[in-house]
Amino acid sequence: MTPIPEFGKLQPQARELEEAVLGALMLEKDAYSIVSDILKPECFYEHTNQLIYSAIVDLASRQQPIDMLTVTEQLRKRGDLETVGGAYFITELTGRVASAAHIEFHARIIAQKYLARELIRFSSEVQTKAFDATNDVDDLMEEAEGKLFEISQRNVKKDVTQINPIIKEALDNLQIASNRKDGLSGLQTGFHALDKITSGWQNSDLVIIAARPAMGKTAFVLSMAKNMAIDYNTPVAVFSLEMSNVQLVNRLIVNTCEIPGEKIKSGQLTTAEWDQLMTKIKGLYDAPIYIDDTPSLSVFELRTKARRLVREHGIKLIIIDYLQLMNASGMNFGSREQEVSTISRSLKGLAKELNIPIIALSQLNRGVETRQKEDKRPQLADLRESGAIEQDADMVCFIHRPEYYKITEDEKGNSLLGIAEIIIAKHRNGAVGDVRLSFKGEFARFQNMNEDMLRPPVKENVAIYKSRMYDEPETSPYNIQTISPSTNNNEEDFLKRENFSDQPPF
């Protein structure tokens, strides 16, 4: 037993239980299957016990019987028999236990002692490095976070569950979905065609939304976040690794207030536009949207912040913009592809742990650009840097705007101007397909097709609607009879005559 100099205490250990577990493993033929996912050789405190358990693991991997004689022979082959105390010590181990009745309970205690020793070792290393003034504190924090994450992952074990309670949970979810008027089982996005094919974003799903630059990835998720937070009061967290929080909010203001981004940047707004801004921006106040603009966010920082957001603010959806800007600091990788694989796998694990959907934006490689003009639609093979993204994701969606590639008509001759296609290329729990949305580039806004026709006129925009009706009486999108301007000088009379309301006409 070796004391730790810094603390003057013995390391956490359970030598008697270690010997009891080893003895039980050599007595009961099925005992190893009970502890194999709990214990690793390094979990044992005594080096001799580590060697004995390693010999048992070797026998099990070759599906050979595990007993006193086979373990002794395996140790002899490995050259470790004399090190552990010879055949006599192996005999003693089996004589100290009567059965393997409590082997799982004993194994879990051994595993907990091992984790405690790892935490002590980890904290001691951090303390030593923190005293060294040559170490950068930020780098040390990232390294410490990475190692702590590794330790915590070793203890993430979930027992199997008999099917009955799972059936009950599934039926409860089905009952909840049946009581909803929209018929959806997940979170509504406000994009009706998309919700119909996905049934809403589902809890524990990792959704990848990928596109080439300038396709509108950020605009799409911001339009969606605005819909969910304002229309459905769904708390949303946005982790923006590319833009500052002020830039992101400016994009939201442009999206919500429908004022061109150039004017928002310059501040050169007309009086009418200022009125429009101040009226519509009220909808953003108190919206349950939480923004984090930490640059080069690590997956470990994300876990910590996400847990806190769910606990303190009841977050129902997390958006990450975008995946390739994240890192897994504190861990060593042979390539960037391995790092991205770890990130995507961790995001899926986090979605399951928090039981909420996580949407991560992703870049596509340049393969799209090299293809013929008629074949610019993204494919799963275009996902950048790692095939693991495709494997880990429950759903992969692509954003495609044919107009960007000068494709203005589809094969049927229909106009593609202002049209965005959301291509659902992978859907683990449902159908794949294409969804068309309207894209307003000047407002960085995605919306349902023909949404303008569904939106009722509001008082502050009366002049705009009157202008439309007078200029284009035959094609008025609101199906309102035209009125001579000379009979409509009073705005209140105009509103009263047309019987405008605050509710959509459909």
Please list the active-site residues: 242
Question: How far is the CA of 506 from the CAs of 7, 128, 167, 446, 502, in angstroms?
Answer: 73, 68, 39, 20, 12
User: Which 3 state secondary structure label does DSSP give 209?
Assistant: strand
Question: How far is the CA of 137 from the CAs of 296, 297, 305, 330, in angstroms?
Answer: 16, 16, 20, 13
Phi, psi of 238 (to 5 degrees): -120, 120
Tell me which residue has tokens 């729990």.
Answer: 429
Long-range CB pairs of 1-8, under 8 A, 24+ apart, other chains included = 4/120, 4/124, 6/124, 6/127, 7/120
- Of 391, 402, 336, nearest in space to 381 by CA: 391
Q: Which residues of 367-395 are buried (b: 16+ CB within 10 A; e: fewer)?
A: ebeeeeeeebbbeeebbbbbebbbebbbb
What single-letter amino acid sits at 485? P
The tokens describing 452, both together, are 């303008």
Question: How far is the CA of 265 from the CAs of 214, 250, 254, in angstroms?
Answer: 19, 8, 10
Q: Cβ atoms within 10 A of the Cβ of 167, count?
A: 10
Torsion of the alpha carbons at 440, 443, 445 and 447, rounded to the nearest 10 = -50
Q: What stretches of 270-357 adopt beta strand conformation (E)? A: 289-292, 317-321
Helix (H) or strand (E) holding 475: none
CA–CA separation, 500 vs 390, rounded Å?
Answer: 48
First CA to last CA across the chain, in angstroms? 78
With beta carbons less than 8 A apart as the criterion, state whether 321 and 240 touch: yes
CA–CA separation, 418 vs 440, rounded Å?
Answer: 6
DSSP state of 30: T
R_g of the chain, CA atoms, integer Å: 31
With beta carbons less than 8 A apart as the criterion, state whether 137 and 45 touch: no
